[in-house]
Amino acid sequence: MSRAPIATEQKVAEKLTILNDRCIGILTRIYNIKKACGDAKSKPAFLSDKSLESCIKHIVRKFPNIDSKSLQALSSVRTDIMKSLSLYYYTFVDLLDLKDHISELLTLMGVLGMHESLDIGISYDLTKGYLDLVINYVTLMVLLSRVEDRKAVLGLFNAAHEMVNNQGDPSFPRLGQMIMDYEVPLKKLSEEFVPHTKLLSAALSSLHQLYPRRNLKADQWRAAQMLSLVNNPSQLLNPAQTDTMPCEYLSLDTLERWISLGYLLIPHTLQNPQVLDIWTQTLQTGWVITLFRDEVLHIHSFIQSFLETRKELSKRVSDVKESYNTAVSTAPLMHRERRKYLRTALKELSLILTDQPGLLGPKALFVFMGLSFARDEVLWLLRHHENPPLQKVKSGKSAEDLVDRQLPELLFHMEELRALVKKYSQVLQRYYIQYLNGYDAIALNQLMQSLQNLPEDESIILSSMCSEIGQLSVKQVDEGGSQSINLSSVTNENGQLTVKQVDEGSSFDFRGIRLDWFRIQAYSTQNRTGLQLRDNREMAALINQIVFHTKMVDYLDEMLNETSDLSIFCFFSKQFEDNFHMCLEFPAQNRYIIAFPLICSHMQACTHEVCPEERYHIRERSLSVVNMFLEEMAKEAKNIITTICDEQCILSDKLLPKHTVPLILSHKKKEKKKKKEEAAEGRPGHESYRKTREELTTMDKLHMALTELCFAINYCSQVQVWEYTFAPREYLYQHLEQRFARALVGMVMYNETTSEIAKPSELLTSVRTYMSVLQTVENYVHIDITRVFNNVLLQQTQLQDSHGEKTITALYNTWYADILLRRVSAGHIVFSKNQRAFVSLTSEGAQPFAAEEFSDVNELRALAELIGPYGMKALNENLMWHIANQVQELRRLVVINKEVLLSMRTNFDKPEQMKDLFKKLQPEVDSVLSRMQIIGVILCFRQLAQEALTDALEQRIPFLMSSIADFRHHVPNGDTMIENIKLQLVNEMSSAAGHRCEVDPALVHVLRAHKSVDSKGIVADKEVHDDEFIVTCLLMVFVAVSIPKLARMDSTCYKTAYQSHANNSHCLALGINTLFAALFTYCGRAQDIEERLKEFLALASSSLLRLGKENDKEVIKHRDATYILLHEIVGESPFLTMDLLEACFPYALIRNAYHAVHKADQHG
């Protein structure tokens, strides 16, 4: 005869803990199987294989008695079937094994007479563990009955197993029977629980007092000032506690599942009016309950279909229908009002605790109650919004109440409280360590002393518990950290903990105390004499309180998960995203939108080690969602900022000088008063006048929306999701950089078709306005906007940005080099020396744009500020490239006429011979002059640009510019090789800063680069031969003897108002000096520049002096203007002097020439 089981030997507490965890794991696997089989894309391929369709139908029809001989079509794929379906099959085998263990434990608890112990107010852990196990078991069986193709999966695997191993799987007969038994799960479950009625009824009865107290309406909460810390100021520092502390933050959703499903397993108890009342209350709070994750049960139709099969319970059908009508008509409003109350209550909690985090200690219970209440309401809204009522009720308005635009606010305050608990965890630890040591240990010791006949097991456990919490010290918190230690193993000889014995980086671990308390609850059975908790309620309440206090020390993360885990959003992804976008579109809720990315960090909590294969999918889903949320938030903020910037640019544009003319004219004209008022309204600044502050302008609304959204982005510096860290501000950085870059290029307004482009000064004004708006973003969010400016503006100084797109530099580079300067070469536009700009001479030259509006000092300074030294260097390189192309053509002309030019160089003092030789050059002279004029025009524009750059840099970096000037002043002349290298380096630096050098280093560099590659593209010998020097000298001769040809051109007339020739011949002065200095340097004859230019002056002077002997008026039409050119060549040269000019050319001719052109211009 077997002896009766003893409670202390059965490890009921451990079994309940392990089996509940196992239930969640198997539920996770069954859930994934159901989702996979319900999706055509993810279900096993064999189930949708048409060649196996007849076999599958046969298996389903004959299940579980399947004859494998009739399934020969499976023989070819039997091994593949086993591989593919093994995970599914053995999940069901695990379920069968779990079912056996659950049944065994439930039976054992009944045998031990634990119905006396199952009281949620006393034995919380035991009762909760038992009810969780029962409901998890019910959920498993209901979910099993919902798995499509379960018969096909099991039948196919077993048939394939039999074909491979000549026998079916040993578990299949029992599996098949289980599948058949639970086709209608509630019927079978109610039969199974007949022996457990007493146990289950006792556990559920203990909820009768708790549930009505927890299931209150918002008005009742409001009347009781639920969760308010300031309701009773005198009690503000007193610890919040009750006799049933764990019940206070127990999920109401869990309570309702226990009651509604629990009583269905023992339906005859519904004849009891008290039971029926509590049961119908749970049915009136909603029309669906959660099974697992997003799997729900339409509870009323589920119950109704079951009750209709039980004649003795048919009267209850009308109660269910009435409850359904009540739920549909009143529940949405009730829950909406609850959410409304919780929004303000949690906000008050977070504000007070943020200001006074020390209150977290005594009021921790309020925090976890608030989180639990809020989580219940969020879960209710999610499942009911996703699953509308099956039958409509006339008086119901559920559709409106199931869309909550204020939900983000509730979620945000939940996240805020969670963050406070994590941030001030040490405050909680310090408080509760003192509480445990200073009160709980003493109170427990006194209670133990008052107990008589305490069994040995309980005595040992309680003594150990009392000793352990009595040894705690606050210093352990100060030195503690993250490493787990066993407190009972670090006591000294006197049994006391010391600071030195607590290793740095250690933490507390009270799991042993909590498990011991769970064991005591399990030991308190009817069949065992000893400590009966129902007779010692004071001790039960104290130890429940101690358990809560220990959780505040070492179990905070798990407590937060228990009360506020929102990982359910992972499975309601559409609702999650819809709520996010609804929040994004509702400015009043924008500041709370950060809650959505923060919730993504919860999603790791919904995984289970029994089902590791889903971790990857949940991980990827949560990472993609948080990334999408942060992208959308940053994009919306960027769009608002862009709108504000565009509006401010429009207002800034109205302040430009070009818009003042209409206002000036309107003042001069005498108009009617009404018209004057209308004009005044259009003035810049009128938009700032307000009649009342209540009238919000569009700009006000935009700033308000930006403030709210930036609050969300700035709320936390990082969001941790799985092992990844997301920085919301970095998303804003990226979007602002991209938008700023696109805006800059867009504001250039370059049109390739019409060749239109924005004036640099206007663009600079717009850019500054844009930047000033962006700088205000720093007032809303902690970002360094200078970083955005540096990244974007520096990229704009290059020809391409980091994305390969064109930049401001590229567009202006193209426009100035290929459009403006080409139009200058075409005529009607001249370079004015006194205006320091290119000026249109005629109305034709001013179409489609006026050159002076783009090339004057202000515009080029604005350009220099926009594109900086790097951009100006790129512009210079482009201009030098155009010059190098012209030089190549000039060289070609020299080579063709080499013999003639050699003769002219040696016979320049023989007029008749020079005249004959010049006739041979006549066809090429115009080409040489034209190309030299082009070079001169380019160099004049470059000089303007360089001067503008210098002016801009003088303002920005005056000290650096003075240092560069000092270098130039003290650099050696370049007599030795080392000094020459130093000179080149200083010249390059000076040129980059906009200073003019005797020899242009940029032009020398481009000439070398052009010559280093021959016409076939093959790199040639880089040594410069004497031939290059000769060609350069001959080119100099060619230009010198061609200058007199300018005198016969109509376009050479001198414009005194502009100090320029109409055909830009005056640009030859700069072109000749710069080009030949560079060419001789390139040839390695830098020391000969002065001598060669003297030779040029002699050739040009003798050629021009011969014009004095000409009698043909056509030949000397603009002789005076040409004489002035010679004067300008000397004036521009750093190598030639006026004394040299006087020696070669009478200054009286030049003075007379100036007099003549000014006189002609006055009379003309």
Mean pLDDT, rounded, for 19-45: 90
pLDDT of residue 245 exceeding 70: yes
Q: Give tens-digit pLDDT for 201-230.
A: 999 999 999 999 999 999 999 999 999 999
Residue 846's pLDDT is 65
What percentage of the chain reaches a pLDDT higher than 90? 52
Are the C-beta atoms of 357 and 417 separated by less than 8 Å? no
| Separation CA 1011–CA 1006 (nearest Å) | 9
Residue 1046's pLDDT is 87
Residue 1020's pLDDT is 46
Grade residue 665 by pLDDT with cuts at 50, 70 and 90.
confident
DSSP one-letter code for 236:
T
pLDDT of residue 489 exceeding 50: no
Mean pLDDT, rounded, for 939-947: 93
| Separation CA 74–CA 69 (nearest Å) | 10
Mean pLDDT, rounded, for 812-838: 89
Mean pLDDT, rounded, for 113-140: 93
Residue 816's pLDDT is 92
Residue 670's pLDDT is 52
Rounded mean pLDDT of the chain? Answer: 87
Mean pLDDT, rounded, for 704-721: 93
pLDDT of residue 474 exceeding 70: no
| Separation CA 1062–CA 1124 (nearest Å) | 13
Mean pLDDT, rounded, for 1025-1036: 85
Strand-pairing partners, residue 837, are 832
pLDDT of residue 743 exceeding 90: yes
Residue 348 burial class via C-beta count within 10 angstroms: exposed 0-12, middle 13-18, buried 19 and up:
middle
pLDDT of residue 482 exceeding 60: no
**Looking at beta carbons, which pairs linking 669-678 to residues 24 or more positions away fall under 8 Å?**
none
| Separation CA 893–CA 928 (nearest Å) | 8
pLDDT of residue 497 exceeding 50: no
Mean pLDDT, rounded, for 1066-1087: 89
Residue 396's pLDDT is 53
Chain-centroid distance of CA 990 in Å reads: 43
**Cα within 13 Å of Cα(1085), Cβ side:** 21
Are the C-beta atoms of 781 and 717 separated by less than 8 Å? no
Q: Give tens-digit pLDDT for 783-805.
A: 999 999 999 999 999 999 888 99
DSSP one-letter code for 1046:
G
Q: Which of the residue ranges 57-61, 701-705, 785-789, 865-869 would you say has the lowest mean pLDDT?
A: 57-61
Of 687 and 1039, the one with more pLDDT? 1039
| Separation CA 771–CA 762 (nearest Å) | 14
Residue 494's pLDDT is 35
Q: Give tens-digit pLDDT for 1103-1142.
A: 888 877 776 777 677 888 888 999 999 998 988 888 888 8
Task: Find the length of the chain.
Answer: 1164
Residue 527's pLDDT is 67
pLDDT of residue 728 exceeding 70: yes
| Separation CA 577–CA 675 (nearest Å) | 54
Helix, strand and coil content of the chain, in percent to the nearest 5, comes to 70, 5, 25
Q: Give tens-digit pLDDT for 877-914.
A: 999 999 999 999 999 999 988 888 888 888 877 777 88
Grade residue 420 by pLDDT with cuts at 50, 70 and 90.
very high
Grade residue 949 by pLDDT with cuts at 50, 70 and 90.
very high
Q: Which of the residue ranges 290-299, 395-404, 474-483, 671-680 would you say has the lowest mean pLDDT?
A: 671-680
Element (H, E) at 831: strand 829-832
pLDDT of residue 696 exceeding 70: yes
Helix (H, G, I), strand (E, B) or coil at 38: helix
Q: Report DSSP letters for 256-297, one per residue.
A: HHHHHHHHHHSGGGGGSHHHHHHHHHHHTS-S-EEEETTEEE
pLDDT of residue 682 exceeding 70: no
CA torsion sign for 882, 887, 893, 896 is: negative
What percentage of the chain reaches a pLDDT higher than 70? 92
What is the CB neighbour count within 10 angstroms for residue 1148? 9
What lies within 8 Å, CB to CB, of 839 at 6+ separation is 829, 830, 831, 832, 851, 852, 1058
What is the CB neighbour count within 10 angstroms for residue 573? 14
| Separation CA 591–CA 642 (nearest Å) | 19
| Separation CA 660–CA 671 (nearest Å) | 18
Tokens of 401: 């109440």
Are the C-beta atoms of 864 and 853 separated by less than 8 Å? no
Chain-centroid distance of CA 470 in Å reads: 50
Residue 475's pLDDT is 67
**Cα within 13 Å of Cα(507), Cβ side:** 17
| Separation CA 672–CA 469 (nearest Å) | 92
Residue 1144's pLDDT is 85
Mean pLDDT, rounded, for 106-125: 90
Residue 145's pLDDT is 92
Q: Give tens-digit pLDDT for 42-61.
A: 888 777 777 788 888 888 88
Are the C-beta atoms of 662 and 683 separated by less than 8 Å? no
Element (H, E) at 229: none
Q: Give tens-digit pLDDT for 501-545.
A: 333 445 788 999 999 999 999 888 766 667 788 888 899 999 999
| Separation CA 45–CA 1022 (nearest Å) | 71
Residue 676's pLDDT is 45
Residue 4's pLDDT is 67
Residue 488's pLDDT is 35
Grade residue 492 by pLDDT with cuts at 50, 70 and 90.
very low
Tokens of 289: 């309950």
Closest among 453, 377, 386 to 409, alpha carbons compared: 377
